[in-house]
Amino acid sequence: MITLERAAVVGLSAEDHRQRANESAQSAAQSFERCDTDGFLSQWASGLTADLHRTKARIVDAGGTSSFPALFDTDGNLVAAKLVDTRYGRSWMLLGDDDPNGRAAGWFNPSKHSDPERRRANNAAKGFLIGKVAAPADARLTSPPGARGLGGATSVSVSVYRTDRGFSRDVTVLDNGIDQHPAMVLDSVLGSRVAVTAGRDGLARLEQYLTDAQAAGDRLRVRSLQGQIGRVRVEHERARDDLAQRESRLKDLLLDDIADPGRRTAAWEQVVAQHPITQQTAADSLAWVARVDASRGRQRAVGNSTGTRTSGGSS
């Protein structure tokens, strides 16, 4: 019998959700061993349930929140608006007040330009910027409108939704369209590090294949692998450059946007609490900033000392 677990399982910890995800994944694997692809519906259902619980675990890890698009004015202030589906696509419903169930006071259709800078400029010309907030969230299984039968069943997917009905001011602003919260910058750094690691590992595998092909005297495969290695190496260098830029932005944020060391530490403690995977990155960044602070302090001390001696000698 095919069963899909009810999406709203309340009161479970992140570890509970991960355990349920593992059980569902194991059930799918056992079904494949017993029935091969004849049990594909049962395997699909178990896999979908596993995805649901993995998503719920990530939400619980983030303090019951997830990131969502949010609308801001061109000064970076949160606008009372919620994103809704219309027959023409997704659009922002402008609210008359902070009640997410209130009537529409207007509409804003965001730019669909392919270039991010042009898209941002087009939105700003209408008086709005699109950023991100961390808002209360949950996950559920959804399917497109009108989905029916077997085709409709296999179109079911996991979706994350806001539990505050689409708008609230009780959120953490991650990106107001102008400035980014440290968590956003940190996430981008981690994503770039994953890309760099994957590229490095991919290069290592290709180079091993090349060594094997050279040893076997397979000249056709050698030429093919040399071309692949060249392309992957270029992509890897781009990923490394991108990572360097993102890490530089991270350090600039710590140094310039949060000038006071005490506030900096508090900000990173909040980030780490919401993103446990970032603990080492945050610790490394704070250690780097502490060294810069100490260096600046020594430079100021030397400058003050030099100034004192100079003024003393001239008097």
Q: Is residue 203 pLDDT above 60, yes or no?
A: yes
- Are residue 78 and residue 39 in the same domain, yes or no? no
Query: What is the 3-state composition of the chain as percent helix, strand, coil, each rounded to the nearest 5?
Result: 60, 15, 25
Residue 201 has what pLDDT? 82
d(CA 58, CA 100) in angstroms, rounded, equals: 26
The fraction of the chain above a pLDDT of 70, given in percent, is 65
In a domain, 289, yes or no: yes
Same domain, 45 and 100: no
CB 74 within 8 A of CB 128: yes
**Structural domain includes residue 270:** yes
Contact 80, 91 (CB under 8 A): no
Distance of CA 210 to the CA centre of its chain: 35
Q: Do the domain assignments include residue 35?
A: yes
Distances (CA, A) of 296 to 77, 289, 303: 34, 10, 10
In a domain, 305, yes or no: no
Residue 33 lies in a domain: yes
Same structural domain for residues 72 and 56? no
pLDDT at site 40: 66
Question: Is 221 part of a structural domain of the chain?
Answer: yes
| Residues 108 and 198 grouped into a single domain | no
Provide the residue type at 106 as one letter.
Answer: G
**Same domain for 71 and 57:** no
In order, the DSSP letters of 145-200 are: TT--HHHHHTT-EEEEEESSTT--SSSEEEE-SS-B-HHHHHHHHHHHHHHHHHHH
56 shares its domain with 72: no
Residue-number span of the structural domain to which 19 is assigned: 14-61
Q: Taking a C-beta distance cutoff of 8 angstroms, is the pair 281, 191 a contact?
A: no
Do 194 and 254 have their domain in common? yes
Same domain, 203 and 221: yes
Structure tokens belonging to residue 122: 């087009």
Whether 311 is in a domain gets the answer no
Residues 167 and 201 in one domain: no
Least confident range from 7-16, 20-29, 194-203, 210-219: namely: 7-16
**Given this model, what pLDDT does residue 315 score?**
33
State the residue for tokens 């559920």.
140
Residues 92 and 164 both lie in one domain: yes
Q: How confident is the model at residue 197 (pLDDT cuts 50, 70, 90)?
A: confident
**CA pair distance 171, 174, nearest whole angstrom:** 9
| Same domain? 37 vs 103 | no
Residues whose CB falls within 8 Å of the CB of residue 293, separated by 6 or more in sequence, listed in order: 261
Q: Are residues 288 and 195 in the same domain?
A: yes
Mean pLDDT lowest for which of 57-66, 74-83, 154-163, 188-197?
Answer: 188-197
pLDDT band at 221 (very low <50, low <70, confident <90, very high): confident
- Whether residue 312 is contained in a domain is answered as no
Highest mean pLDDT among 44-53, 159-168, 238-247, 290-299: 159-168
Q: What is the mean pLDDT of residues 123-142?
A: 92
- Annotate 46-77 with b (16+ C-beta within 10 A) or e (fewer): bbbbbbbbbbbbbbbbbeebbbbebbbeeeee
Which range (21-25, 38-42, 133-137, 254-258) has the least confidence?
254-258
Q: What's the DSSP call for residue 30?
A: H
> Domains in the chain: how many in total?
3
pLDDT at 130: 94
Of the pLDDT bands very low, low, confident and very high (cuts 50, 70, 90), residue 96 is very high
pTM, to two decimals: 0.58
Encode 24-44: b = buried (16+ Cβ within 10 Å), e = exposed: bbebbeebbeeeeeebeebbb
How high is the mean pLDDT of the chain? 76
Question: From CA 88, how far away is CA 98, in angstroms rounded?
Answer: 25
